[in-house]
Structure 1
Amino acid sequence: MSGIVGYIGKSSAHSIILDCLTHLDYRGYDSAGLAISNIKTIEIRKEKGRIEDLKALLEIEPINIGNIGIGHTRWASHGIPSVANAHPLCDVEEKYIVVHNGIIENYRALKNMLIHEGHTFTTETDTEVIPNLLAHFDTGDFAETVKKVVPLLKGSFALAIMSKSQPDTIIAISQENPLIIGYGENEAFLSSDISALLSYTKEIYPIKNGEIAILHSTGINVQTVDGKEVKPDKIIVEWDKDDFSMKEYDHYMLKEIIEQPKEIKKTLEGRLTENSVELPELNKLLTQENLQSFKKIDIVASGTAYHAGIVGKKVMETMLNLPVEVSISSEFRYEHGPLNEHNLVIVISQSGETADTLSALKEAKANGCQTIAITNRKRSNLARKADYTICTNAGPELAVPATKAYTTQITVLLLLAIVLTETINGPGIERIPEMIKELEQLPDEVEKTLIMTQDAIDQFAQVTEDQESLFLIGRGLDYVLALEGALKLQEVAYLHADAYASGEMKHGTMALITPGVPVIALSTQKHLRDKTISNIREIKARDAFVIGVTTVGDDDISEIVDEVMYIPEVHPFLMPIVAAIPLQLLAYYAGTVRGFDVDRPRNLAKSLTVE
């Protein structure tokens, strides 16, 4: 959600912190701020808006030159975006300075207690209780005070804290919320995400629950909250800073759409053999005895990952003949059916840090379920806590709208469906040779789709410039695709885009069809084509402007729509991947033609680390 950075060393702290915050602004861009220590004093600057607004403020109000500092970019969860609510926050006497990501669930009770004790609050945030608690329980020792206060906080949070009594030190805490130490040459860094650190170091350590990291000029000390020393197991990051470069593209979103053939290929590498699928990550799970004990599969995810999960459900039910249920992460923890050791629960999250999905995982494990995580971050909280993890290997995704995350997640779900079917000799076993053959060709087919559709979609996007509503319809897997296409148009182009199952239009929503309203009709599933054509005719009879998306050679659709977009024909289970490309491009170009920041949509952030 929000982004935290910190620095201690010999260089200018504020320039490094601003650079790191720039790499984290996809985590939140409601406001930004920093605190810099030159040992004698700690100064704070903060501003509403994005990092550029903070930089502009620093031109007008320069901050002192110091070698120690913390910074923050905010996505508002408590309190409106404003300078007052921006981080860093401190107590009234400015003894303690705090930047915070996450939610303090019991902040109201803590705030009431502190007010009763005479403390004054000036913001609407939950964060403000933290510096006030530190001031209230101040022992005279920075680290001991932090250790005293942390157990009082309930929720998921990451903190970086400075103290005016010890201005050469930063203390960092991570509780169910990512915060990483970066090791440099006589310097140290903090960040919510690896992406901010790659220009400075590749040697990192993710702070674990129950640990505090003390960064000072003489080194880094990690210990548990109860004082036990921890020897950090350092990790070398595999990603390179070039992976985070926009290169020749105008936006990260377009870059990540174009990267999909390469990233799907990486996701398939080492997993496809001539006649089979290998997922060594699941070796301990993949025994016939284990799998036959499962009576149901639950797939849990949020947003775009939820849509990928629905595709996985439809494929797995066909291949395995097992009931598969897909749940929204934020609902699963509170509303789910019976869970026990006979449930296999698959949780999906690009970042592996989605708070709702982590809560769902915790609920599944508490009920004795076996769990598989599908994520792009193999060292994420989700990956660490699930019984098994399959990485999508899609490289960093920095645009807030998920694109390559979606297609690689479906790719992994297809691989998983095949390997589960092979193990239990499921009813879909005869489909596997064709699926493997088509998966081998999938990167090329996605590349071909990009070539076939990009220019045409760019032109069609002009039609959306003066539109406020748009509809997408489809049947079967095409309806799932319509859901994802509508989500992309909503978040990127701010269009009131709705997805409907084609056959349901006449049961109420046909009332929304007016002359000229744009409708995207998806028809990629051959066995449903005749019914889809009938539904398109019903809409055309009401004078809608219909754009058909179908496979090469389908003249029946082209004869009844106003415009047609052709894509390559692949296996029906793979069509939600290939057909997603023109919808992603449409959202991108519609957003740009309407003048919006497609990488950073309003009110949204990339990594949703609060529930």
Structure 2
Amino acid sequence: MSGIVGYIGNRSAQEILIHCLTNLEYRGYDSAGLAISNGDHIEVRKEKGRIQDLEASLQLDTMQNGTLGIGHTRWASHGNPSAENSHPLTDEHEQFFVVHNGIIENYHVLKKELLSEGYSFKTDTDSEVIPHLLSKYNTGNFVETVRMVLPMLKGSFALVMMSALHPDMIIGISQENPLIVGFGESQAYLSSDISALLSYTKETYPIKNNEMAILTRDDIFIETVDGKQVHPDKVAIEWDEEEILLNDYDHFMLKEILEQPSSLKSTLNNRIKNKQVYLPEAELFFREHPYQQFRKIDIIGNGTSYHSGIIGKSIMDKLLSFPVEVSLSSEFTYEHGKLSEQHLVIVVSQSGETADSLTAIKEAKANGAKTIAITNNKRSNIARQADCIIPMNAGPEQAVAATKAYTSQITVLSLLAIHLCKKTEEPSPNFIKELIEAVQTLPEIVKQTLVMTEDAIDSFAQVTNDQTNLFLIGRGLDYVLALEGALKLQEVAYLHANAYAAGEVKHGTMALITPGVPVIALATQPHLKDKMVSNIRELKTRDGYVVGITNVGDDALTDVVDEIMYIPETHPLIMPIVAAIPLQLLAYYSGTVRGYNVDRPRNLAKSLTVE
């Protein structure tokens, strides 16, 4: 989950690398470092903490000027966060310098062998074996040395390397881990993500497995690990730099919450025409793999994507006659049932790089299942593995906590459910018509919700400032929404927020309800409203402080809660999109009122590229 960059050209490498790393900081912010070459010497600077800590250090004690360098922002997986464990890492003779994202699974064996041969290690990382191996097997030819060492490394990783012996070259490797080449005029870039490159180039190439990018002063070469030349098909970046700038916002999280009317509009763009769902990617896929071959759908994801998947399952359950299951991708890989060509596996991942989901999609394909990826990055590893990709088109998401990704994921799953239903079932025409109309109006409904709830939620966040525990309850889809709301509060406000199916509270959780403990009661599903009222009364008899969230015009909760918040009403199946807005805002304001950095929560990173 680290961010890695490389640059070679005619400008200040330090300036460019710092800027690129700042745009990658959501991938890790435990520590950061640079290695800069002036052609004669490579200087390394590393600091524990965020990019700004490294930048402050460089202002006090400047590095040498150079136009070639590599950089790293770290999320620690092996070795504590520290300056010593930071990258770039080098060998004892300071000949090879490496920045690494991923896991070297066999590093214990490699390290033991190197130690027995007299090599000494300065860090606790798995990554340090790489520069030592490059030193041990140095052939005098940088490219050939890398080719010799790569087969010794097991795991998923992206590497950017430079050598004091070859001062005008950078080598990049991608093995089940994202790494992108950026093409510029008389300069070239490497990055974990396109967001780092938006200021510098619009032409990129995602390095594929078993490929290496060789950047020199004169050219960029893409070759296979065994030496065959690759002619890269350059890909134009579709995002604009403006999309990753804070502008007048205090935090990316708030910016992205407020962007949801426009991100949903983008997700829906050209996908509903003449009151019909139009998914050309799915149409092509199902032309090759007829609907009739499928007997079951599995939806998999992690964290917020998993919650989106549960909502998607609920919608599909209402529209389709064959079974739909949802699983955590980290569990699915090892605990799935029988898979075959009759199974359709839908993988949901914002980044398209989540290691657990990538492993799961490979497992599904290895067992004959067909796969669809719903992701925000249509050139990601997961997208390349899938048989079909349906992009979310939500735009870049810089905050670690997913907000607009969640609402766009559910929207795409809703569209896919309708698409499948129209092809395979005999649905009620009026029901489908009403659902399509509701989905089409989502951008406006979400805009109204933001206007109605932002100030009220800010006030409630102030009320909960002195609380360490908070409960969220709901029934049906509202219970899933409660799970997502609890996750957001855990991520950015560090609250012990717990979600429960409202009917289950009396089966044990009621013991935790003490006078004044805050409970958020979600009641947006009409057929469950009476049951929710009964559950809320049970909480009030134990003096819980209950805040109800329900639809405008519905006063069923008014007399049984301490506070009530109204949100616009839409089709019940997509209320989890609308009702997510106040919960996202609650998490944001609860985090900021406590003084936390909600964009970069402790111990977390955005794109989890290790299992």
Given the two structures, how large is their TM-score scaled by the length of structure 2?
A: 0.99
Number of the residue aligned with 1:567: 567
Report the alpha carbon displacement of residue 352 of structure 1 after superposing the two structures with TM. 0.5
* Alpha-carbon distance between aligned partners in 2 of 1:262 and 1:323, rounded to the nearest angstrom: 33
* Aligned positions of 1:508-519 closer than 5 A: 508-519=508-519
Number of the residue aligned with 1:257: 257
Change (3 A) 1:316 1:288: farther
The secondary structure found in structure 1 opposite 2:334 is coil
Q: Does 1:342 align with 2:342?
A: yes
For structure 2, the residue ranges without an aligned partner over 5 or more in a row are none
Equivalent residue letter for 1:24? L
- Encode CA deviations 1:421-471: one digit per residue, 9 max, x unaligned: 000124565521111111121111110000000010011110121110000
* Aligned positions of 1:189-228 closer than 5 A: 189-228=189-228
Q: Is the 8 A contact 1:296 1:342 kept in 2?
A: yes
Number of the residue aligned with 2:44: 44
Number of the residue aligned with 2:530: 530
Number of the residue aligned with 1:456: 456
- Encode CA deviations 1:515-559: one digit per residue, 9 max, x unaligned: 000000000000000101000000000000000000011112011
* Alpha-carbon distance between aligned partners in 1 of 2:373 and 2:444, rounded to the nearest angstrom: 27
Report the alpha carbon displacement of residue 363 of structure 1 after superposing the two structures with TM. 0.4
- Encode CA deviations 1:103-122: one digit per residue, 9 max, x unaligned: 01111111111112221111
* Runs of 4+, deviation exceeding 6 Å: none
For structure 1, the residue ranges without an aligned partner over 5 or more in a row are none
Q: Is the 8 A contact 1:320 1:426 kept in 2?
A: no
* Alpha-carbon distance between aligned partners in 1 of 2:413 and 2:150, rounded to the nearest angstrom: 39
Change (3 A) 1:229 1:288: closer
Number of the residue aligned with 2:414: 414
Change (3 A) 1:363 1:471: same
Deviates more, 1:248-257 or 1:516-525: 248-257
Report the alpha carbon displacement of residue 288 of structure 1 after superposing the two structures with TM. 11
Q: Does 1:28 align with 2:60?
A: no
Number of the residue aligned with 2:13: 13
- Encode CA deviations 1:279-299: one digit per residue, 9 max, x unaligned: 110123335982122111000
* Alpha-carbon distance between aligned partners in 1 of 2:52 and 2:265, rounded to the nearest angstrom: 36
Equivalent residue letter for 1:92? E
Given the two structures, how large is their TM-score scaled by the length of structure 1?
A: 0.99
The secondary structure found in structure 2 opposite 1:248 is coil
Number of the residue aligned with 1:122: 122
Aligned-residue Cα RMSD (Å) equals 1.1
Report the alpha carbon displacement of residue 93 of structure 1 after superposing the two structures with TM. 1.4
Q: Does 1:442 align with 2:442?
A: yes
- Encode CA deviations 1:18-54: one digit per residue, 9 max, x unaligned: 1111111111000000000001100000000000110
Report the alpha carbon displacement of residue 62 of structure 1 after superposing the two structures with TM. 1.6
Q: Is the 8 A contact 1:471 1:499 kept in 2?
A: yes
Q: Does 1:473 align with 2:473?
A: yes
Could you tell me the percent identity over the aligned residues? 66
* Alpha-carbon distance between aligned partners in 2 of 1:431 and 1:389, rounded to the nearest angstrom: 27
- Encode CA deviations 1:486-540: one digit per residue, 9 max, x unaligned: 0000001000000000000011111110000000000000000010100000000
Deviates more, 1:492-501 or 1:87-96: 87-96
Q: Is the 8 A contact 2:104 2:154 kept in 1?
A: yes
* Aligned positions of 1:333-412 closer than 5 A: 333-412=333-412
The secondary structure found in structure 1 opposite 2:441 is helix
Q: Is the 8 A contact 1:288 1:423 kept in 2?
A: no
Report the alpha carbon displacement of residue 159 of structure 1 after superposing the two structures with TM. 0.4
Number of the residue aligned with 1:302: 302
* Alpha-carbon distance between aligned partners in 2 of 1:287 and 1:234, rounded to the nearest angstrom: 28
Q: Is the 8 A contact 1:305 1:406 kept in 2?
A: yes
How many residue pairs get aligned? The number is: 611
Equivalent residue letter for 1:96? F
Report the alpha carbon displacement of residue 274 of structure 1 after superposing the two structures with TM. 2.5
Q: Is the 8 A contact 2:85 2:124 kept in 1?
A: yes
Number of the residue aligned with 1:555: 555
Number of the residue aligned with 1:583: 583
Report the alpha carbon displacement of residue 5 of structure 1 after superposing the two structures with TM. 0.8
The secondary structure found in structure 2 opposite 1:246 is coil
Q: Is the 8 A contact 1:6 1:71 kept in 2?
A: yes
* Alpha-carbon distance between aligned partners in 2 of 1:462 and 1:602, rounded to the nearest angstrom: 22
The secondary structure found in structure 1 opposite 2:335 is coil
Deviates more, 1:473-482 or 1:275-284: 275-284
- Encode CA deviations 1:231-278: one digit per residue, 9 max, x unaligned: 111111111101111121111101100110111111111111223211
* Alpha-carbon distance between aligned partners in 2 of 1:542 and 1:486, rounded to the nearest angstrom: 22
Number of the residue aligned with 1:322: 322
Report the alpha carbon displacement of residue 325 of structure 1 after superposing the two structures with TM. 0.9
Deviates more, 1:42-51 or 1:92-101: 92-101
* Alpha-carbon distance between aligned partners in 1 of 2:293 and 2:571, rounded to the nearest angstrom: 30
Q: Is the 8 A contact 1:286 1:423 kept in 2?
A: no
The secondary structure found in structure 1 opposite 2:121 is coil
Q: Is the 8 A contact 2:529 2:556 kept in 1?
A: no
